[in-house]
């Protein structure tokens, strides 16, 4: 079977750095931190009192008040980013066969805020089971893809992937495969998450996974820094429209970049910690390169998982060394989580967008907040510290790894006719 080429024709984002693609990319390139003290609830009793919250998002821009109340925040962010991406791509125009356009979404947690609100209310009550009739439809992790499909009448493949922090990268890989196998003409893919509440902060604190740098929230996410002490929780959504090349060209669509490969693997090691030698990460990057049909030496930039955890950052860099050898010192590496925080199931989506824009614009976003050199990290690696770098980027790789040992990687290439 002749595989079809898959290109990116639309982008949308709701992030801690901005609620549209232009603001998101501008702040990434300029090294802006999205972290600050939590405003959504009183976090003074928690070990971590800060996060990367979405700022200035107006629900009324996308929903009427009645509709908004029936939808969890994670779906608000997802539908908003998908609405932007669809408008950007033009696939919603008259004459396009929506039977051949699908939605494949990713979310690691789904409607945590709805779950918390409803269960807290029940616990405080008299024991009578009074629940919002929209409790389950608001909460379930698949509902955002359903909302996007319904809103735009997209009747192609429709489902959600759940693989913790790798969720939206797995969704992107599935979308890529469905299109190149001829199962759809286009797919709206991405992910969304809204876990900044008492349950999310408390739960991740109990896992000892998050930074507790309450004296300096804006510098807390510091991948590769010797004093890194955990990730910073983020929220939001990111959407990409993937499209079969001929379909996109026939309708005159603009093309950001081409997706040429994807890889998946399991660490088979621990529920929260990566394999210390990066075995799963080594395997997933190798599989992504093989699927793309390219050599390791063709990669110019890696957008890493880079969560700012002591174990995770080291394991990923070991894996990069395993896969790329001496070429690892010739490419750029950066972690955009240093700015956005960790969006959990939506991380892969917004980082794929960052990678697509890096390829399109020949700019590597920085890894910010680095101040103390970690002697355990090879100093020959170009981690793009604290300031963006301009370079030709023909091919880039983006990694995401999730609790449970779920690993996913995608290869993005500059579009050439």
Residue 400, SS3?
strand
CB count in 10 Å sphere of residue 276:
12
Q: Quick check: is 406 catalytic?
A: no
**229 exposure class (CB count in 10 Å sphere: 0-12, 13-18, 19+):** middle
CB count in 10 Å sphere of residue 271:
10
The residues pairing with 400 across neighbouring beta strands, listed in sequence order, are 408
Q: Which of 21, 19, 4 is nearest to 57 (CA)?
A: 19
Q: How far is CA 137 from the centre of its chain?
A: 23
Alpha-carbon distance of 49 to 213, in angstroms, equals: 9
Q: Quick check: is 144 catalytic?
A: no
Going from the C-alpha of 267 to that of each of 174, 204, 264, 271, 405, the distances in angstroms are: 20, 21, 10, 9, 5
Alpha-carbon distance of 374 to 225, in angstroms, equals: 6
Give helix then strand counts, H and E, for the chain. 13, 14
Alpha-carbon distance of 346 to 397, in angstroms, equals: 17
Q: Which is the catalytic residue, given 144, 147, 165, 275?
A: 165
Residue 18, SS3?
strand
Pairing of strands 301-303, 158-161: unpaired
190: left (phi over 0), alpha (psi -120 to 50) or beta: left
Phi, psi of 209 (to 5 degrees): -100, -20
CB 91 within 8 A of CB 9: yes
Q: Which is the catalytic residue, given 76, 275, 305, 406?
A: 305
Q: Which is the catalytic residue, given 76, 275, 342, 406?
A: 342
Q: Quick check: is 342 catalytic?
A: yes
Pairing of strands 301-303, 332-334: parallel
Residue 154, SS3?
coil
Report, as residue numbers or ranges, the catalytic residues.
165, 305, 342
């Amino acid at each position: 079977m002749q595989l079809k080429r898959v290109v990116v024709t639309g982008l949308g984002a709701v992030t801690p750095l901005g609620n549209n693609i232009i603001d998101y990319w501008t702040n990434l390139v300029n090294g802006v931190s999205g972290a600050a003290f939590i405003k959504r609830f009183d976090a003074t009793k928690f070990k971590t009192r800060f996060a990367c919250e979405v700022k200035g998002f107006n629900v009324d821009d996308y929903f009427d008040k009645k509709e908004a109340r029936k939808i969890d925040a994670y779906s608000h962010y997802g539908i908003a980013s998908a609405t932007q991406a669809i408008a950007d791509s033009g696939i919603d125009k008259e004459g396009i066969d929506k039977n051949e356009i699908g939605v494949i979404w990713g979310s690691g947690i789904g409607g945590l805020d709805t779950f918390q609100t409803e269960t807290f209310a029940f616990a405080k009550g008299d024991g009578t089971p009074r629940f919002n009739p929209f409790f389950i439809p608001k909460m379930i992790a698949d509902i955002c893809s359903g909302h996007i499909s319904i809103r735009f009448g997209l009747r192609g493949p429709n489902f959600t992937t759940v693989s913790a922090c790798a969720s939206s990268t797995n969704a992107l890989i599935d979308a890529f495969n469905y299109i190149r196998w001829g199962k759809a003409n286009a797919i709206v893919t991405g992910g969304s998450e809204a876990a900044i509440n008492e349950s999310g902060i408390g739960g991740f604190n109990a896992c000892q996974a998050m930074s507790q740098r309450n004296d300096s929230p804006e510098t807390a996410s510091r991948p590769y820094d010797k004093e890194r002490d955990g990730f910073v929780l983020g929220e939001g959504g990111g959407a990409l429209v993937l499209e079969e090349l001929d379909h996109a060209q026939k309708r005159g669509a603009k093309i950001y970049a081409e997706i040429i490969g994807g890889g998946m693997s399991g660490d088979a090691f621990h529920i929260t910690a990566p394999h210390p030698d990066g075995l799963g990460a080594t395997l997933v990057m190798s599989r992504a390169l093989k699927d793309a049909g390219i050599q390791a030496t063709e990669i110019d930039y890696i957008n890493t998982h880079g969560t700012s955890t002591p174990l995770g950052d080291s394991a990923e860099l070991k894996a990069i060394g395993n896969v790329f050898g001496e070429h690892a010192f010739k490419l750029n590496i950066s972690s955009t989580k240093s700015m956005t925080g960790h969006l959990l199931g939506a991380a892969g989506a917004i980082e794929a967008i960052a990678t697509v824009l890096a390829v399109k614009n020949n700019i590597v976003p920085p890894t910010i907040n680095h101040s103390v050199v970690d002697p355990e990290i090879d100093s020959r690696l170009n981690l793009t510290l604290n300031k963006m770098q301009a370079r030709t980027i023909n091919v880039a790789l983006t990694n995401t790894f999730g609790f449970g040992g779920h690993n996913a990687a995608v290869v993005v290439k500059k579009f050439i006719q």
